[in-house]
Amino acid sequence: MNASTEAGKRKQPGSYNADDIEVLEGLEAVRKRPGMYIGGTGSGGLTHLLWEIIDNGVDEAAGGHARLLEVFLHSDGSYEVTDNGRGIPIEKKEGDATALEVVFTELHAGGKFGNGAYGASGGLHGVGASVVNALATRIEVEVDRGGATHRLEFQDQIAGHTAKNGRFSPNHALKKIAKIPANRTGTRVRFWPDTEIFDPEAKIDYAEVKDRLGQVCFLVPGLKIRLSDKRRGSRRPAEELVSQGGLADYVDFLSGEAQPVTGLVAISGSGVFTEKVPIDGKLTEVTRECQVDIALRWVQGYETSLVSFVNTIPTPDGGTHLSGFERALTTALNQAVSTADPRKLRKLKGEAKVQKEDAQEGLIAVVRTVFLEPQFRGQTKRELGTPEVQKIVGAVVRDGFKAWFEGTAKGSKKVHVKAILDKVVDAIVNRISTKQALDNRRKAAQLGNNGLPDKLADCRLHPEGELLIVEGDSAAGPAKRARDSAWQAVLPLRGKVVNAGKSTKKSVLDNAEATALFTAVGSGSGPEFDLESRRYDRVILLADADVDGSHIRCLVLTLIYHYMKPLLEQGHIYAAQPPTHALVLGSEKEFLYSEQQLQARVADLDRKGRRYRITRFKGLGEMDDDELLETTLNPETRILRRITLEDAKDAEKAFAVMMGAPVEPRKDFIIKHSRDYGHALDI
Q: Catalytic residue positions? A: 471, 544, 546, 548
Question: What is the C-alpha to C-alpha distance for residues 44 and 39, in angstroms, rounded to an integer?
Answer: 7
As a whole number of Å, the end-to-end CA separation of the chain is 68
> SS3 of 59, please?
helix
Amino acid at 676: D
What residues form DSSP beta bridges with 151? 142, 175
Burial 248-284 (b: 16+ CB within 10 A, else e): bbbbbbbbeebebbbebbbbebebebebeeeeeeeee
Chain centroid to Cα 436, Å, comes to 33
DSSP-assigned letter for residue 411: T
Question: What is the C-alpha to C-alpha distance for residues 488 and 499, in angstroms, rounded to an integer?
Answer: 27
Distances (CA, A) of 73 to 82, 155, 228, 241: 12, 20, 6, 16
Crossing angle (nearest 10°) for helices 547-563 and 512-521: 60
> SS3 of 286, please?
strand
Question: CB neighbours of 190 closer than 8 A, spacing ≥ 6?
Answer: 72, 74, 78, 79, 80, 139, 140, 141
Question: What is the C-alpha to C-alpha distance for residues 220 and 87, in angstroms, rounded to an integer?
Answer: 19
Q: For the chain, how big is the Rg over CA atoms in Å?
A: 31
